Amino acid sequence: MIQRKDQIIKKRKELEKKLKSRMEDLSSKDKENLQAIAIKYDKDSKKAPTIVASGRGKIAKQIVTLAEENQIPMLEDPKLSKLLSSLKIKSEIPANLFKVVAEILAFIFYLEKMASKRSSLRSKFKRIKK
């Protein structure tokens, strides 16, 4: 079980490193075409996920930077990004995209759950060592 958690954590770090590397390697033209969309989902409400930020170029870079600084999981999916960018900010995800967005959110919730368990285990081991 712990090996599986470690593998997930390692994979997430690899993906984050890869994304950061891609951001740094982009040409100025690519940076202008960079697109980022942020969605928010409140699992306690019965509403669909909503678009909270969307932008291209410098705004997209700011969205990515804020996500990195706040350890918000990111996913690179140009096709989904293009579809979501056509929506207005504060609009809900349309029904035809529910399945794709739900799969992404399920994966993110799983990662957060694993991170929480890891944190709990670390604090237990710290108490044992003392």
**Would you state the pLDDT for residue 47?**
87
Contact 74, 19 (CB under 8 A): yes
Q: Report CA-CA distances (Å) from 96 to 17, 21, 82.
A: 31, 32, 14
Q: Distance (Å, rounded) from C-alpha 77 to C-alpha 104?
A: 11
Flag the least confident range among 34-48, 72-86, 92-106, 107-121: 107-121
| Interval 6-35 mean pLDDT | 69
Q: Give residue-wise pLDDT tens across range 38-80.
A: 998 887 888 888 999 999 888 888 898 888 888 888 888 888 8
2-129 CATH: 3.40.1690.10
The ranges assigned to domains in the chain are 2-129
Higher pLDDT, 52 or 118: 52
Amino acid, res. 96: N
